[in-house]
Amino acid sequence: MDFHPVERASEAFQQSLTAEKIGKVCRRAFGGGATPVSAVELGTGMYNNVYRVTLADQARPVILRVAPPEARQFRSERHLMRNEFTSLPWLAVIAPLMPQVLAADWSHEVIGRDWMIQTHLDGIPAPEHLGTYPRTAWPAFFRQMGAVTRSVHDVRGPHFGPVSGPGYATWGEAVIASLEEIAADLDGVGLDAADVRKVAAVAAHESAVLDEVTEPRLLTGDLWTVH
């Protein structure tokens, strides 16, 4: 297999798979005869490892995404890939714009990490090409992005908090729990969490203001051109 991983230091948060492990994932997903011809790691993401994989018996490549090992995940970022997968039925409103999931595995039987294989979408990532257009053309791009975001934010849900849980009865509870997890993560790596705990204390004291939000909505929480 023609294999092109991103070179990283041994202590880096992201750690690439080996070519052998990519082959094991493809065989689990598509059957024992699935043979990867090439795998190119796409290095723009900062959380999951992402590969464009070409298979011998398929005309189009697929995208393999691999979550960090459990031990390297922060409490505030636990099981982000599983949460994304759980969110898919709620994103039906934009399904034509999204890749389809071909396989997903949380068992850790194959490579010891969560992974998901999706269809490959044609196009060029905005960070790579948007700057080549005149700035007068940018407003149309961002209006389209805003329209997509609006359709996502119109989706109502059964609880506050991550789609896959834990769920909270109020927005205030969800915000406070999130801040407490971030503070615990900072403690875990030896950083000062005092400022985050102050914000959590303010949120708890003023929770009535947060709880004026009474209807859970699906939110896009990290909206920039990379995504």
Quick one: tokens of 114?
A: 């969560």
Distance set, CA 151 to CA 33, 91, 100, 145 (Å): 41, 9, 19, 10
- What gap in Å lies between CA 170 and CA 212, rounded to an integer? 9
Quick one: tokens of 48?
A: 């999951």
Is residue 57 predicted with pLDDT exceeding 90? no
Question: What are the tens digits of pLDDT across the range 189-223?
Answer: 999 999 999 999 999 999 999 999 999 999 987 77
According to the model, what pLDDT value does residue 224 have? 79
Which helix (H) or strand (E) segment is 152 a member of? helix 138-153
Q: What is the mean pLDDT of residues 68-89?
A: 95
Question: What are the tens digits of pLDDT across the range 4-40?
Answer: 999 999 889 999 999 999 999 999 999 988 999 999 9
Q: What is the mean pLDDT of residues 41-57?
A: 92
Q: Where are the domains of the chain?
A: 2-120, 156-210
The CATH number, out of the four listed (3.40.50.80, 3.30.200.20, 3.30.420.60, 1.10.3720.10), of the domain defined by the range 2-120? 3.30.200.20
**Tokens 């039925």 found at:** 89
Q: What is the mean pLDDT of residues 60-66?
A: 97
Percent of the chain at pLDDT exceeding 90: 87
